[in-house]
Amino acid sequence: MGRAVISCRRSTSAVAFALLLALAAGCSKTYYKAMKTLGKEKRDILVSRVKDSKKDQQQAKEQIKTTMESFQELTGFQGGAIEKNYKKLNGDYEKAADSAKKLHDRIDSIDQVSSDLFKEWQQEIDGMEDKKLKTQSAAMLRQSRLNEASYVKSMRQTEARMTPVITAFHDQVTFLKHNLNARAIGSLKGTSAQMSTDVDVLLTSLDGSIAQADTLINSLNST
């Protein structure tokens, strides 16, 4: 019994180690092979990454809102612990920037695995003999391609809207760092309203992209 448990642990560890090596080397084939030993096909990986991207966007949405609130709080500040408020804004900005970077990486990973999945799918269709089933499979592939392309386009648009917002936060935080006094903070009040509008547009875009994630997940799960 003990040997069986040890053997199982060694097998799991070996798979985990192979996954780490594949990710570190950027080797998709090794990664997919290792995941397959865990019962995970490319479709499962894609669904998982889309679900993760949905969570990433939800987290980014909340962090952007928090950062904007901190900025508004600081620019409307009426005396007191300015340094403390600046540090809070800077911390929120850094988290927002990390969320944006995480979302960018997630989009790239979805694009990669979906491309590999569709390539494999097409190859399998090419090897089918039954014309009726082949036609049906081809139709499912076309629809999945459209859903994936629509979702990735939506995320890219959201990312494009996020970039100037994060850049604006960066510039304001840096300016405050260089000029940490009441006069400098007062000079930023005029930018708060415009940034608030930009953030509102971004949050609406995130909501739309999150909704499209569900459409893609349902499409992949139904095939």
Q: Which of 50, 60, 84, 34 is nearest to 163 (CA)?
A: 60
How far apart, in whole angstroms, are the C-alpha atoms of residue 55 and residue 48?
11
What is the pLDDT at residue 134?
A: 94
Identify residue 130 by its one-letter amino acid code: D
Give the pLDDT confidence of 143-166 residue by residue, as tens digits.
Answer: 989 988 988 888 888 888 888 888
What is the pLDDT at residue 180?
A: 66
What is the pLDDT at residue 184?
A: 60
C-alpha dist (Å) from residue 88 to 3, 9, 94: 53, 44, 10
Residue 167 contacts residue 96 (beta carbons within 8 Å)? no
Confidence of residue 4 (pLDDT cuts 50, 70, 90): very low
How far apart, in whole angstroms, are the C-alpha atoms of residue 207 and residue 144?
21
Give the pLDDT confidence of 174-205 residue by residue, as tens digits.
Answer: 887 777 666 666 666 666 666 677 788 788 87
Ramachandran sector of residue 39 (left: φ over 0; alpha: ψ -120 to 50; beta: rest): left
What is the pLDDT at residue 80?
A: 54
**Range list of H helices, 127-188:** 131-178, 182-187
pLDDT at 14 exceeding the cut of 70 = no
pLDDT at 132 exceeding the cut of 90 = yes
Averaged pLDDT score across all residues of the chain: 78
- Report DSSP state, residue 179: T
How far apart, in whole angstroms, are the C-alpha atoms of residue 172 and residue 135?
56
Give the pLDDT confidence of 107-119 residue by residue, as tens digits.
Answer: 899 989 999 999 9
Provide the residue ranges of all domains of the chain, joining segments of one domain with +.
Answer: 1-40, 42-221
pLDDT at 10 exceeding the cut of 50 = no
Percentages of the chain per state (helix, strand, coil), in multiples of 5 = 90, 0, 10
Cβ of 185: how many Cβ atoms within 10 Å?
19
How far apart, in whole angstroms, are the C-alpha atoms of residue 220 and residue 223?
5
How far apart, in whole angstroms, are the C-alpha atoms of residue 128 and residue 29?
23
How far apart, in whole angstroms, are the C-alpha atoms of residue 140 and residue 143?
5
Of residues 1 and 27, which shows the higher confidence score? 27
What is the pLDDT at residue 17?
A: 43
How far apart, in whole angstroms, are the C-alpha atoms of residue 98 and residue 17?
27
- Region 42-47 average pLDDT: 86
CA-based diameter of the chain, in Å? 77
- Region 67-93 average pLDDT: 74
